[in-house]
Amino acid sequence: MTSTLYRNGAVHSSADPFAEALLVDDGVVVWVGAEDTAAGLAARADRVIDLDGALVTPAFVDAHVHVLETGLALESVDLSPAAAPTRAAALDALAAGARALAASDPGGGEVLLASGWDERAWPEAAPLTREDLDAACGGRPVYAAHAGLHAAVVSTSLAAAAGADRVPGWDPAGLVAGEALAAARAVAQDLPPQRRPRAYRRALERAARLGVAAVHEMSTPRTDTRAGLAELVALGADPAGGLPLVVAYRGELCASEDDARALLAELPFLRGIAGDIAVDGSIAAHTAAMRQPYADIVASAAGPDPRGTLTLSAEQVAAHLAAVCAVGVQAGFHVAGDRAMDELVAGLEAAAGRLGGGPLRAARPRVEHAPFVDAAALASLLLHGVSLSVQPAHAAAWGGPDGLYAARLGAPRADIMAPFADLQSAGIPLAFGSDSPATPLDPWQAVRAALTHQDETQRLSARAAFRAHTRGGWRLAGVDHAGELRVGAPAHLAVWRSDAYVVQSSGRGLSSWSEEARAGQPVLPDLAPGAPEPECLHTARDGVPLFDTFA
């Protein structure tokens, strides 16, 4: 048995809101309490960590991550607005990236990866083009992902190699979406053998440094291979490996129970055949299926549907739900637009007719994103036991009167997106994720975004938002006993330094309590706008340190 005592700080625990110390034995919390009692436990612990007033909380769970793409983005040319505030700066960064790559690949065949560009952040508001990439990078194959991930711009040489210029979704300017995006992405992610595990590890190590002990991997044929997913899960299987747990979802549509069984036979570790099985596309790419046309598209008889695109029918939704529920794992879908939510609801109703309402609810279907949930959809989600994996950082990055959502949809529709408070008050289970690399791995940013929603009536309390990003992620994956610091719970925890809570002396020793804790609620940092983000000092999974500044 190995044991660690955390003492002389503050512990976020609903079991004892005033707790100052925590004891972990063999990966399980065995005691939570006061500093004066901790003094008597120090001799029996293998390791004693003096928190020096720091805060211990449950570790975060990121309920929607693309691990390979996140790792590749961390190694790619950064074209985000912070790194490339102008179009010229983006082209300079691409040119520098091409020069650096030429040192290891003088033949010029390796694809230069870039990510995060958003033309709305640039004064010209003009997207990159393949001619830009060709000129800046000397004809090298280039794949530059848009910030929203559902579109990219590619160089002429990459488009030709992938055949992206011969399939739907190709724009002569080099912009790719849909089938063209999938073709270009497949070539861009045809990686040397050593690069894939390196990207996995880099993404997971980044998550651990941010207080994340588990991630829900949203794998699809477009973002990774089945063999890659198996390799990723193996990397995170044992806490002793020093990486967060990977909860694996695979986004492959099943038409029958045989399809689902075949997939599970190859990937028996799957928590669900769910995630980014897309009912529609994205708002950024004009492919999310909306009831009304996009505000910034002029309808044309020869052009695409100005209301976006449904990629699945209600019948396909129902068939997938029935097939996956029959094999005993979670089913679920990606839903972005309000028309796509209508189709999902129709599919839920049809699946309930086939399976019965009870079995469908027991299967705990999940839906990703779901920014539009009106009263009718809310009632259906509740009736059928659906949980939502939502991304508050999307609203923070793209919401507001001058944001992408308002530009695409018009302010009235953008204003009703992401009704977090309505969902929570109705009893819809919520879990927060980043959708990294679309928006960064940054769990406190997501919590803060839920507290500062542009619609004040849809803001969550700090405690509710924090639970959605901790316990909510475990519960969404069917693990009901994790995500809290109480006796008997797994020791998935993180330690934080923050200016947000006041260190004070009390009769029970040195402690850190906020106003919430004095009122009998577990302590949390101050997450008001402008407050500094908490600094992660230590992350543990099952009591095993993944990131540790105390060592």
Kindly tell me if the per-residue pLDDT of 92 is higher than 50.
yes
Which pLDDT score, from 0 to 100, does residue 507 have? 33
More confident residue, 527 or 442: 442
**What structural domains does the chain harbor?**
3-59+484-548 (2.30.40.10), 68-188 (3.10.310.70), 251-476 (3.20.20.140)
Kindly tell me if the per-residue pLDDT of 504 is higher than 80.
no
CA separation for the pair 326, 324 (Å, rounded): 5
Residue 206 structure tokens: 């980044």
pLDDT (tens digit, 9 = 90+) per residue, 191-244? 888 889 999 999 999 999 999 999 999 999 988 999 999 999 999 999 999 999
Which pLDDT score, from 0 to 100, does residue 531 have? 81
Which pLDDT score, from 0 to 100, does residue 345 have? 98
Find the mean pLDDT for residues 123-150: 89
Q: For residue 107, what pLDDT band results from cuts at 50, 70 and 90?
A: confident
Which pLDDT score, from 0 to 100, does residue 440 have? 92
Residue 30 structure tokens: 């065995």
Which pLDDT score, from 0 to 100, does residue 35 have? 93
Kindly tell me if the per-residue pLDDT of 23 is higher than 60.
yes
Which pLDDT score, from 0 to 100, does residue 188 have? 86
Mean pLDDT of the chain: 91
- Which of 522, 515, 396, 523 has the alpha carbon at shortest distance from 448? 396
Q: For residue 456, what pLDDT band results from cuts at 50, 70 and 90?
A: very high
Which pLDDT score, from 0 to 100, does residue 512 have? 40
Which pLDDT score, from 0 to 100, does residue 302 have? 53
Residue with tokens 């940013």: 445
Kindly tell me if the per-residue pLDDT of 5 is higher than 90.
yes
Find the mean pLDDT for residues 148-157: 87
Find the mean pLDDT for residues 479-496: 96
Kindly tell me if the per-residue pLDDT of 519 is higher than 60.
no
Find the mean pLDDT for residues 100-109: 84
Find the mean pLDDT for residues 135-148: 90
CA separation for the pair 442, 379 (Å, rounded): 31
CA separation for the pair 107, 151 (Å, rounded): 28
Residue type, 202: R
Half-sphere exposure of 421 (CA within 13 A, CB side): 14
pLDDT (tens digit, 9 = 90+) per residue, 383-417? 999 999 999 999 998 998 989 999 999 999 999 99
Which pLDDT score, from 0 to 100, does residue 505 have? 31
Q: For residue 94, what pLDDT band results from cuts at 50, 70 and 90?
A: very high
Helix crossing, 195-209 with 67-75: angle to 10°?
90
Half-sphere exposure of 178 (CA within 13 A, CB side): 17
Q: Which residues pair with 31 in a beta bridge?
A: 23
Which pLDDT score, from 0 to 100, does residue 185 have? 87
Strands (E), 109-207: 112-117, 142-146, 152-154, 175-176
The predicted model scores a pTM of: 0.90
Coil, strand or helix: which one is 503? Answer: strand
Which pLDDT score, from 0 to 100, does residue 326 have? 94
Q: For residue 498, what pLDDT band results from cuts at 50, 70 and 90?
A: confident
Which pLDDT score, from 0 to 100, does residue 194 have? 83
Q: For residue 548, what pLDDT band results from cuts at 50, 70 and 90?
A: very high
Which pLDDT score, from 0 to 100, does residue 300 have? 53
Find the mean pLDDT for residues 2-30: 94
More confident residue, 190 or 277: 277
Q: For residue 489, what pLDDT band results from cuts at 50, 70 and 90?
A: very high
Q: Which residues pair with 436 in a beta bridge?
A: 65
Q: Which residues contact 466 (CB under 8 A, 6 or more apart)?
A: 57, 447, 524
Q: Of the spans 186-200, 463-477, 505-519, which averages the highest pLDDT?
A: 463-477
Kindly tell me if the per-residue pLDDT of 509 is higher than 70.
no
Which pLDDT score, from 0 to 100, does residue 506 have? 36
Kindly tell me if the per-residue pLDDT of 515 is higher than 80.
no
Find the mean pLDDT for residues 104-116: 85
pLDDT (tens digit, 9 = 90+) per residue, 309-348? 999 999 999 999 999 999 999 999 999 999 999 999 999 9
In this structure, what is the dihedral angle of CA atoms 115, 119, 120, 124, given to the nearest 10 degrees? 150
CA separation for the pair 469, 441 (Å, rounded): 12
